[in-house]
């Protein structure tokens, strides 16, 4: 991971967290995982300990060990390792932010707390600022995912004046379907920020609105396909971009019909990659083998 901060663009894989069959974290898989992402999927940025990584189901200590491993093993291989340090507890987020800086992360990201919800964007910015201040040299990203958090502020309103408040602010992961809000963020953001879209199934729409890249779980196994989508879009070949987007949609629609959560997604990745990612942690229920196999077959058809 580089220490010259460059703008985060292109695809960022939201990584799964490898667990042993006993449910302990299994950092030994991370090295091979990085090689897989680079060699097989053409993906060189990762978003660690986020939703896909079951970050919220991990203890603070586990999150630190995972972040350290991703940074160490990614050195010289990955372009950027972004560590998600969002917690319900501010003190723990600060602790994780400091640690991310120590282990050489390229940036940190924070989601809004969601059990107690901030009552307005001002108090949310205060929360984010307190976390960012614990790692002031690391690029800071806000992770906007209202369907998960129930925090329904417009992202654009959260961004208002945010760089004065958080000097290290560098962009957001926007995992929402309100593209007026997203468009307003695009219009507002200065060139050194990154606007990364987080709903892989409709990435093309966000590119049309001006997204700089994307953070998502499907790039773990559909990275090449979506890199093709990005290239087609950049070349102005909208028909080709649409064809590729529809292929992604075909897989995901199929998965959604069968039942698709982080547990199923993780099992699918194990099937496709051969990496031993292990089971999810409770309260997620392990994915039935049959379901993962069906989705993997659908994926192979489309690739």
Segment interacting with its own copies (CB under 8 A) among 6-14, 166-174, 179-187, 271-279? 179-187
Q: By CB under 8 A, is residue 283 in contact with its own copies?
A: yes
What residue has token string 């417009």?
A: 154
Q: How far is CA 114 from the centre of its chain?
A: 18
Query: Which of residues 62 and 79 has its CB atom nearest to its own copies in the complex?
Result: 62
Query: How many CB atoms are located within 10 Å of the residue 1 CB?
Result: 21
Residues 248-277 that bind its own copies (CB under 8 A): 249-250, 252-253, 261-262
Is residue 156 at the binding interface for its own copies, with CB under 8 A as the rule?
A: yes
Member of 38, 101, 148, 258 binding its own copies (CB under 8 A): 148
User: Which among 12-20, 67-75, 159-167, 183-191 is the span making contact with its own copies, rule CB under 8 A?
Assistant: 183-191
Out of 209, 226, 232, 299, point to the residue binding its own copies (CB under 8 A).
Answer: 209
Q: Is 302 in the site for its own copies (CB under 8 A)?
A: no
> Which tokens go with 294?
């069906």
Closest CA to 143 of 50, 46, 48, 6: 50
In the set 64, 73, 173, 266, the catalytic residue is: 173
In angstroms, the CA 50 to CA 217 distance is 10
Reading the block at residue 141, the tokens are: 């990203």
CB burial of 280-300 (b: ≥16 within 10 Å; e: otherwise) equals bbeeeeebeeebbeebbebbe
| Annotated catalytic residue 197 | no
- Of 20, 246, 293, 297, the one binding its own copies by CB under 8 A: 246
Q: Catalytic site residue 267? A: no
Among positions 39, 180, 235, 297, the unique one binding its own copies when judged by CB under 8 A = 180
Q: H or E segment at 197?
A: strand 194-197
Determine the Cα–Cα distance for residues 66 and 58; give it in Å rounded to an integer: 10
Query: Which listed range, 76-84, 121-129, 136-144, 158-166, lies at the site for its own copies (CB under 8 A)?
Result: 121-129
Q: Per-residue contact track with its own copies, 188 to 207, x per CB under 8 A?
A: -----------x-xx-xxxx
What distance in Å separates the CA atoms of residue 175 and residue 200, rounded to the nearest whole number? 9
Among candidate residues 42, 80, 45, 77, the one with its CA nearest the CA of residue 227: 42
Q: How far is the CB of 95 from its own copies (least distance, A)?
A: 8
Among 20, 28, 39, 91, binds its own copies (CB under 8 A): 91
Find the binder of its own copies among 19, 108, 179, 222 (CB under 8 A).
Answer: 179
Q: Of the two residues 37 and 162, which places its CB atom closer to its own copies in the complex?
A: 162
The count of other CB atoms within 10 Å of the CB of residue 6 is: 12
Q: Report in angstroms the alpha-carbon separations of 86 from 70, 173, 212, 260.
A: 17, 13, 23, 24
Other CB atoms within 10 A of residue 105 CB? 27
Q: Is 101 in the site for its own copies (CB under 8 A)?
A: no
Q: What are phi and psi of 282, to 5 degrees?
A: -55, 140
- Give the residue from 164, 188, 163 showing the smallest Cα distance to 174: 188
Q: What is the binding site for its own copies (CB under 8 A)?
A: 54, 56-60, 62, 88-92, 95, 112-120, 122-124, 126-127, 130, 148, 150, 156, 177-180, 183-184, 186-187, 199, 201-202, 204-210, 236, 238, 241-242, 245-246, 249-250, 252-253, 261-262, 281-285
Active site residues: 143, 173
């Amino acid at each position: 991971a580089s220490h010259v901060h460059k703008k985060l663009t292109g695809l960022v894989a939201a990584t799964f967290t490898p667990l042993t069959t006993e449910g302990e974290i299994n950092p030994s898989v991370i090295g091979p995982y990085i090689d897989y992402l680079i060699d097989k999927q053409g993906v060189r940025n990762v978003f660690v300990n986020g939703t896909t990584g079951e970050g919220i189901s991990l203890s603070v200590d586990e999150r630190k060990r995972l972040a350290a491993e991703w940074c160490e093993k990614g050195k010289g291989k990955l372009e950027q390792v972004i560590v998600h340090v969002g917690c319900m507890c501010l003190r723990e987020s600060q602790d994780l932010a400091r640690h991310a800086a120590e282990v050489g992360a390229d940036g940190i990201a924070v989601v809004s707390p969601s059990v107690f919800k901030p009552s307005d964007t001002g108090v949310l910015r205060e929360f984010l600022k307190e976390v960012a201040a614990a790692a002031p040299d690391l690029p800071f990203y806000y992770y906007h995912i209202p369907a998960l958090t129930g925090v329904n502020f417009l992202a654009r309103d959260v961004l208002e004046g945010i760089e004065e408040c958080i000097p290290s602010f560098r962009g957001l992961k926007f995992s929402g379907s309100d593209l007026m809000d997203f468009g307003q963020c695009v219009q507002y953001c200065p060139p050194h920020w990154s606007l990364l879209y987080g709903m892989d199934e409709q990435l093309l729409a966000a590119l049309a609105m001006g997204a700089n890249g994307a953070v998502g779980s499907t790039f773990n196994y559909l990275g090449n396909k979506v890199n093709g989508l990005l290239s087609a879009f950049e070349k102005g070949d909208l028909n080709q971009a649409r064809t590729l987007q529809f292929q992604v949609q075909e897989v995901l629609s199929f998965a959604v019909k069968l039942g698709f959560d982080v547990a199923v997604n993780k099992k699918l990745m194990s099937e496709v990659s051969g990496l031993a990612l292990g089971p999810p942690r409770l309260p997620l229920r392990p994915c039935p083998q049959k379901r993962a196999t069906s989705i993997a077959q659908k994926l192979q058809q489309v690739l």
